[in-house]
Structure 1
């Protein structure tokens, strides 16, 4: 896959997000994707979410669900949106995640350097501020097949 074949949709699922953390999240995300799709699961602070999204000049789509349909349903709808609009990859991000500013560039490098074209999903080493995980610091491989991935900061092949 060549570098110009990366059309990336950023997908965020929201449900009553903390607005300052959500804003910080979007600042690390919008410059890494071609378009941002926010699926809101019936948040009570939808007006605040809309004000935050209006601050960003990137292409932003806000889907407003009347009730909480759940994370799996929201992720499915994000992927369907990406597929219909010919995106190659979806970067799914939790509403409270803050990404490294070079995350998508790193994902692209790994995909371009990988010999096989059948990567379904990439994920990064996650440092959760809520608990300590020494295994994160011990991994030496740049790219390693793993049995499970979390969806936040996952780069999924459409």
Structure 2
């Protein structure tokens, strides 16, 4: 194996669902020689440790305090660098990648300008696996919008990411991927999406919106596909979403349309209308407003 294209994988953990994590790891084991697990203070850490700590090719590290996704990602990048890996596949604990992911990614490693490689993402059943397989997609899509690449199943060029400043740990969670994508693009590097590989992800708890599901089935318009499942986040996640999206749009000129103020307000109004009835809308909007006010604390 070429030393300049050595690949490892890493997963940041926080109270993972064990069976889903096992499935995730089992698929990765067949594709990479090393997997790093960074545990951000999981309450079920003993169970995780018993499963993976003594397994060949897997290194498990438990951090007593939850330091956030960006801290965990930086830990993974640093371990990859220390151990001679030039590429690190970053995975979410609740994501499952296709069996051909690394095989397909390897076709695109020789371009010195490629910093991030992502797959086609199937999230919350907005696109089913069967629908994906029937799509006539180009082999590769060039990503220009920082919102179009997420860290899960993203193959990260370790030297480039270290050069441009790593992940912003002050963000903690939400828009961590948008921030690194902005850095990549602003520094003249490329992000590509390899459509011949895929990743299945569950973002929050998907809540089906029947009116948009009906409209999509009638029209097959992509906008209704996006709207037919509302991602249900906790109020804490909405706080970070509001705070960090404001940071992104005030820090980067080319931050993408889906971090703009108008889009974000419409996004939260959509949640207000279509979240489960038991959600307290007053608390939800208080978290959003508090996050909007607190964005300067990131600096």
Shorter chain as normaliser: what TM range? 0.7 to 0.9
Specify the structure having the higher radius of gyration (Cα): 2
Match of 1:127 among 110, 122, 133: 122
- The Cα offsets for residues 27-81 of structure 1, whole Å up to 9 and x where unpaired, read as 1011211211100000010111112215743x21111110111001100111011
| Equivalent residue number for residue 47 of structure 1 | 46
Aligned-residue RMSD, C-alpha: 1.9
State whether residues 53 and 60 of structure 2, in contact with CA within 8 Å, keep that contact through their aligned partners in structure 1: no
Return the match for 1:143 from 140, 148, 163: 140
For 2:40 and 2:137, locate their aligned partners in 1 and report how far apart those are by CA, in whole Å. Answer: 38
Deviation at 1:151, TM superposition (A): 0.5
Residues 70 and 105 of structure 1, relative CA distance in 2, 3 Å threshold = same
Distance 2:98 2:78 in 1: 26
Residues 88/150 of structure 1: CA separation in 2 closer, same or farther (3 Å cut): same
Partner of 1:60: 58
Q: Offset at 1:6?
A: 2.2
Q: Where does residue 103 of structure 1 map in the other structure?
A: 101
CA distance in 1, matches of 2:152, 2:120: 11
Give TM-score scaled by structure 2 length: 0.47
Does 1 or 2 have the higher relative contact order (CA < 8 Å, sep 6+)? 1
Aligned to 2:284: none
Aligned to 2:82: 84
Tell me: CA distance 1:139–1:90, structure 2 relative to 1, closer, same or farther (3 Å): farther
What is the distance in 2 between the residues matched to 1:51 and 1:99? 24
Aligned to 1:69: 67
**CA separation in 1, counterparts of 2:84 and 2:76?**
12
Structure with greater proportional helix content: 2
Q: CA deviation at 1:108?
A: 0.1
- Separation (CA, whole Å) in 2 of partners of 1:118 and 1:104: 19
**Structure 1 outlier segments of 4+, above 4 Å:** 136-139
Instruction: Give the structure 2 partner of residue 8 of structure 1.
Output: 7
Q: Which deviates the most, 5-14 or 139-148? A: 139-148
Whether contact under 8 Å (1:91, 1:154) holds in the other structure is yes
Q: Is 1:10–1:37's contact at 8 Å kept on the other side of the alignment?
A: yes
State whether residues 110 and 143 of structure 1, in contact with CA within 8 Å, keep that contact through their aligned partners in structure 2: no
Distance 1:47 1:93 in 2: 21
| Aligned-pair CA distance for 1:88 | 1.1
In the alignment, is the contact (CA less than 8 A) between 2:53 and 2:59 conserved in 1? no
User: Which runs of 5 or more structure 1 residues have no equivalent in the other structure?
Assistant: none
